[in-house]
Chain A
Amino acid sequence: MADIPKTKFSRRGFLKGASVSAATTVIESASALARETKDSLYHDRSVGPDPLAVKLFINGHEHSVMIEPRYTLAETLRDNLGLTGTKVVCDRGSCSACTIWIDKTPALACMTLAIDAVGRQITTIEGLSHGDTMHPVQAAFVKHDAMQCGFCTPGMVMSCAALLERNPNPHLDDVKHAVSGNLCRCGTYPKVFAATLDVAEQRRQTAGLVSLVVGREA
């Protein structure tokens, strides 16, 4: 949090900081936060309380939506855009069920105002798969039964997939760290760990095969 730019401190800025840092490591959140605060379209403008039209870039598509400035990204995704894969559980940044990615960095949609996500690349659970083809982390969750009621699952998947993006070779402790904010009341954690480590192992094996092939060719 030491890297908060020296601009006017606002509730919005504070919420953003909380949202990003709660879901990821400090180093990444600091850089994301710096970018985000500097670029925010509405940062120096007084908006609201009436609804305003905003454009959000979600899962590779632009969406125009009328929202009040106070709407969180989670509310906007779920209520206004029908993207209900993002779940709201605690609605105050302590359970990570609403984890999405903003510019590939995990963030909490319940602690991010939708207007602060304007101009950012938002990835939700719906954007992780391609049609019916699951992301490898999603497929591994199914294989290992890393879900019970499934309400925490989208957020858990987003956290694990983000971990593998930044650390393709994680240890069990890294996985625990990556999902340390993701609460699961059914107690599915051991299978979440197994699923994530399995994806990493599969990728290592695939990478190994590729280098073997390359080696033979050389």
Chain B
Amino acid sequence: MALDSLVPAEESEQASPATAKPDIPKRTESFVFGIPQNGLQQKEREVPLDEPPPLPSNAELAYIGKPTERYDGPAKVMGKGKYTADVNLPGMLYARLVDATIPHGRIVSIDTSAAEKLQGVRGVHVIEHVYGIAELRDSKQEAPSRYPVVRYAGQPIAGIAATSHQIADDAAKLVKVQYDEMPFVVDRSDARAEDAPMVFPGPADAAGSAGGGGGPKGVPQKGNVHGPQRKNVGDVEKGFAEADVIVEGEYFTQVQTHSALETHGFVVDWKPEEVTVYASTQGTSSVRDEFAEVFKLPKSKVRVITEYMGGGFGAKFGAGNEGVIAATLSQKAHAPVKLMLDRRQEHIVSNRPDSHQTLKIGAKRDGTLTAIHLTSYGTAGVGTGAGTAGPATNMYKCPNLLTDEYDVFVNAGPGAAFRAPGHPQGCFAFEQAIDELAVKLNMDPLTFREKIDESPARKAERQVILERTNWRNRRAAGSDSGPIKRGMGLAQSVWYRLVSMDSSCEVRVSRDGSVELMSAVQDLGTGTKTMLAIIVAEEFGIPPSSVVIRIGDTRFPIGPDSGGSVTAGSITPAARNAAYQAKQKLFAAIAPQFGTTADNLTVQNGSIAFKNDASRSYTLKQVTAKLPTAEISARATRAAEYSKERITYGGVDYVELAVDTETGRVHIEKVFGAHDCGRPINPLGVISQINGGILQGISYALFEQRIMDRNAGHMLNANLENYKILGAREVPQIDIVLVENYIAQSSTDAAGIGESAGIITLAAAIGNAFYNATGVRMRKIPMTPANVLSALGKVQEVQA
């Protein structure tokens, strides 16, 4: 997993002393620390002089931590939010991709003449370079060609712009491509064979996207097998020798596609003075940077706008093939061009890699872990990033650990970061093996985790599960005598505090009392706008709904890309710092007019009050009316993390289910999730994300699976009627509890929840509940009736 681009700021500073900043003057502050239900403590931290004073716990705040309606909710429910797919510019052309119809081969010729002649066609562009897939370390291993080698069915070849998308569709069908076909392989285990067709003729590496998820570079490669990336701590052989109990098993997970409802897409308006890019992206900055790089433009001449975007889940960063093609067509046709992928292309362009994991864990009689050994093979198609070792490496302390993660190339679309890359796969195996160990040790699985888990947050979360669920009434595995068997299980997740220093905001206060915040950061549906409004509102004592939030535009101060749960923890301190500094400037400007000094003014109970005279208080409007200038503003970035501790977050999810052992159907009845994310800013939005993670996790565990045609090399179910994702009828009862967890790391102490929110744990929790119901261990997902009946020994295993 290449999350290196998002390492905590202080670590990256240490890693490159040449760029280390000189010591900033600091002061010491006392911060609230710990988990409220365990009793809060204070922790002293050194903070930069210009940081605002520490926030108290949420219980003492007006807006932070209180459920707040989504800032752009009305626009979304009334159909007024303009997504990239909705952008219609005067004279705009519609573009369509022409993509490869074979899984592997060289392009001999491309004839676009018929398409060019079609009335309404304004531009045709045949691409020279494919983005987003691994590249040969030594390009000389392949004979040069004017066209890129086709390595997967659906790989983009050309783009066509026309006056309507129907004409673009018609024109795309008229493009004739002649191929020199080559042998291909689309199945992970087939691709590992020594005589398997080679996807790349030599070692190849992929760049990780800004959301992480890329595999390591420069590791050994044999045939299609790239790796291993090895982590080795202690001595696993010695560890297993010391173990009283050992569990060992093989686990299989499938390829899941992101299936964002808004497909990848761009509207590009290429003008000589500036290129304006409307992008459905999780990273306005990464899009701008890639456009600047590809087209050799200064970043200042590329403007990226993402007002609304319809889901990304880790797959939407950078310009990508669609962006580059749209831009080239706009440049050629001298008109704005919209290029949205169609649904089939969307399924092909990105996915969560599959896995085949062999996992062995040893423990002493008292439960102490002695050794973990994981070997995993997974395919990200023509990309890398199929590692699964995150949970095994980071959840529990174990003195001896050996993990080998291999990527297997196949002729299929590239994998991309997908909510907690690697973790749902890894957790499915790891948290089931932990349960299996508990069974062998004759310990309750929750009690066993109490023994081996050092995380105070997860300890509090397990306590919530114990108090609020049916866990204490858990029966022995396979207790039901009838065909319907019920059970319960739980699993835990781990994720990391990742912070981007490219997080800045400007806050502007006008004489009429209006307050606005500007930042390039984008909102991909997680509620960034609302969160920022809350932060500014708290500082000025005004309702969040009265703060104007302008984000998703690179004309504003730079914001972080939203991947790895990085946004909340990165941008909220910048927002608070900017709001605080703007407030200080406001106080300084108006204090003389009120006959006092700035330090005598404060925000109290929604008003601006005198500290030395309780009878005097004013509304923000009354105060700003006295501003000597029309507006004041402050721009701030976030400071480096206050301490260098390695912080992790996690959740504990509990599942009750029923297994119909005659039909093989698994029915999830209840889910209870307890989660932490530092200081929750808007519990309403945080809970929405956890709901979503839980449901995506159930969908992954039970339904979703990319199916490749072994003989033709195409994805067979690249649409939403055959690629099954969870719908309304499959939603169980869900209860969620947020555990506040103050760690004193920034001026807001907030963190994201996108990764650890259920998506990691659910397949494992369902696996554990399945075992509790049936006494049979489910080692393969999705848990379709065929896979369930085969695990129960009722039918032979079905190859899918």
Give me the interface of A with B, judged by CB distance under 8 Å: 68, 70-71, 75, 78-79, 82-92, 94-95, 97, 124-126, 128-129, 132, 134, 138-139, 141-143, 145, 147-154, 157, 175-177, 179-193
Contacts and interface: CB of A to CB of B under 8 A. Distances in A.
Interface in B259-277: 259-262
Given A125-B78, A125-B79, A190 B691 contact: yes
Given A71-B166, A85-B78, A180 B261 contact: no
A89 B313 CA distance: 16
B78 A187 contact: no
A183 B262 CA distance: 12
A24 to B, nearest CB: 14
A154 B79 contact: yes
A148 B78 contact: no
Given A145-B70, A151-B261, A86 B691 contact: no
Nearest to A175: B728
Nearest to A88: B85
A148 B88 contact: no
B24 interface: no
A142 B74 contact: yes
A139 B69 CA distance: 10
B413 interface: no
Q: Closest 6 A-B residue pairs measured CB to CB?
A: A85-B79, A149-B525, A151-B310, A187-B695, A187-B692, A150-B76
A151 B72 CA distance: 13
B77 A185 contact: no
B80 A85 contact: yes
Contacts of B310: 87, 149-151
B729 A176 contact: yes
B725 A183 contact: yes
Contacts of B262: 87, 89, 149, 151
**Which label, helix, strand, loop or mixed, suits the secondary structure of the A interface?**
loop
B556 interface: no
A151 B308 CA distance: 9
Given A149-B310, A190-B734, A89 B261 contact: yes
Interface residues of B, number: 57
A75 B719 CA distance: 19
A129 B78 contact: yes
B59 to A, nearest CB: 21
A187 B73 contact: no
B362 interface: no
Contacts of A124: 79
B546 to A, nearest CB: 16
B366 interface: no
Interface string B81-103: 11101101000001000000000
Nearest to A182: B728
Interface stretch (B321-329, B681-689, B767-775): B681-689
B693 interface: yes
A12 B688 CA distance: 40
B88 A94 contact: no
A78 B262 CA distance: 14
Given A92-B719, A143-B69, A87 B165 contact: no
B164 interface: yes
B599 to A, nearest CB: 39
Given A68-B166, A84-B88, A152-B261, A147 B720 contact: no
Given A84-B82, A89-B343, A138-B74, A189 B728 contact: yes
28 contacts: A68-B166, A75-B165, A84-B83, A84-B85, A89-B261, A90-B343, A90-B720, A90-B721, A92-B721, A94-B719, A97-B261, A125-B79, A134-B77, A139-B77, A147-B76, A148-B525, A148-B527, A151-B310, A177-B728, A179-B728, A183-B261, A185-B313, A185-B696, A187-B692, A187-B693, A187-B694, A187-B696, A193-B731
Given A151-B311, A153-B76, A189-B727, 9 more contacts: A79-B88, A145-B684, A149-B309, A150-B81, A150-B310, A182-B728, A185-B261, A186-B688, A187-B699
Contacts of A91: 342-343
A123 to B, nearest CB: 12
Contacts of A87: 83, 85, 261-262, 310
A175 B727 CA distance: 12
A190 B233 CA distance: 43
B58 to A, nearest CB: 18
A140 to B, nearest CB: 9
Given A90-B721, A92-B719, A151-B261, A157 B727 contact: no
Interface in B369-420: none
Contact of A145 (B524, B685, B726): B685
Nearest to B759: A187
Contacts of A145: 69-70, 73, 684-685, 687-688
A142 B261 contact: no
B57 interface: no
Given A92-B721, A148-B688, A86 B728 contact: no
B526 interface: yes
Contact of B77 (A83, A95, A141, A183): A141
B78 A138 contact: yes
A81 to B, nearest CB: 10
Contact of A142 (B77, B79, B731, B734): B77
Contacts, number: 173
Contacts of A182: 727-728
Nearest to B698: A187
Contact of B524 (A94, A129, A149): A149
Given A91-B343, A142-B70, A150 B308 contact: yes
A70 B77 CA distance: 29
B677 to A, nearest CB: 16
A189 B719 contact: no
Contacts of A187: 691-696, 699, 726
Contacts of A176: 728-729, 731
A144 B526 CA distance: 15
Given A125-B78, A191-B688, A90 B719 contact: yes
Contacts of A89: 261-262, 343, 720
Identify the interface centre among B76, B166, B687: most chain A CB within 10 Å of its CB. B76
B728 A134 contact: no
B720 A183 contact: yes
Given A125-B79, A149-B309, A84 B86 contact: yes
A184 B725 CA distance: 9
A158 to B, nearest CB: 9
Contacts of A92: 343, 719-721
Identify the interface centre among B70, B78, B309: most chain A CB within 10 Å of its CB. B78
Contacts of B694: 187
Contact of A95 (B73, B720, B728): B720
A124 B725 CA distance: 26
B73 A147 contact: yes
A126 B691 contact: no
Contact of A186 (B164, B692, B721): B692
A13 B526 CA distance: 41
B433 to A, nearest CB: 27
Given A85-B79, A147-B77, A150-B310, A183 B688 contact: no
Nearest to A138: B77
B74 A134 contact: yes
Contacts of A78: 86
B780 to A, nearest CB: 23
Contacts of A132: 74
A153 B525 CA distance: 11
Nearest to B343: A90
Contacts of A70: 166
A190 B73 contact: no
Nearest to B732: A190
Given A126-B78, A153-B77, A94 B69 contact: no
Given A89-B261, A134-B78, A149 B311 contact: yes
Nearest to B311: A149
Given A79-B164, A124-B79, A94 B726 contact: no
A181 to B, nearest CB: 8
Nearest to A154: B79
